[in-house]
Amino acid sequence: MYAQILIAVSFAAAAYQDVRDRAVSDLVWLPAVAGFGYVLYSFYVGAVPDFWFYFVKLALIGGVALGFTFFGYVGQADGIAIALVAADPYMLSPLLPLLAAAVVALGHIGYEFGVGNARGTKTIPMAQFLKEQRWIPKAVVSGGTRTEVSSDVNVARDEVEASGSPDASVEVKYGVPTVAYLGIGYAAYVVYLIAFSHAAFVSIP
């Protein structure tokens, strides 16, 4: 229970930042790290019996998140958020929050597709790209020359900003707020536990 509340605090702050800025401060994860530490302490003192299951779950999902981040498929904050979902001590913790997040994601992406933001790539002015964090750059177009940037989402934006071409255009695709999806999904999962499985919620560290 206490660990989940701490993790939920981090997800709430991270989701807000992701929706507002498409950037998440590392500091917002401190409550969740404290919650993870509390879970480890609970295992140490024997308050939770499923020690091995928890660490297998955490290793598998955390490993996938780390790999996706390392190869640039997701942002650093996205990888941290995915791993922290697995840090929840409830046995079904990865499944329920991820299902809720998927429902939110499908609804939002469907809306963005409907209004034209999520339909493949588009070209926008450099000034708009620098102002709006929601775009993932694919290439810089300057003087009729198209220069691709890294496919690693963690460095692509820095490459565009370092190009020094204020009059250029940027070929972009829409970047979804993955952390926000996960944050809303985790909040929905905690509310579900409190409302429909209260005994399990209060028994969790």
Cβ atoms 183, 18 nearer than 8 A: yes
Per-residue pLDDT tens digits for 72-117: 888 899 999 999 998 888 877 788 899 999 999 999 999 999 988 8
> How is the chain split into domains, by residue range?
2-114+176-203, 121-174
Question: CA 86, CA 94: separation in Å to the nearest integer?
Answer: 5
* Mean pLDDT, the chain, whole residue set: 88
Above 60 in pLDDT, residue 47?
no
What pLDDT is attached to residue 162?
87
- Could you tell me what percent of the chain has a pLDDT over 90? 49
Per-residue pLDDT tens digits for 53-83: 788 888 899 899 999 998 888 889 999 999 9
Question: CA 150, CA 170: separation in Å to the nearest integer?
Answer: 13
What pLDDT is attached to residue 109?
93
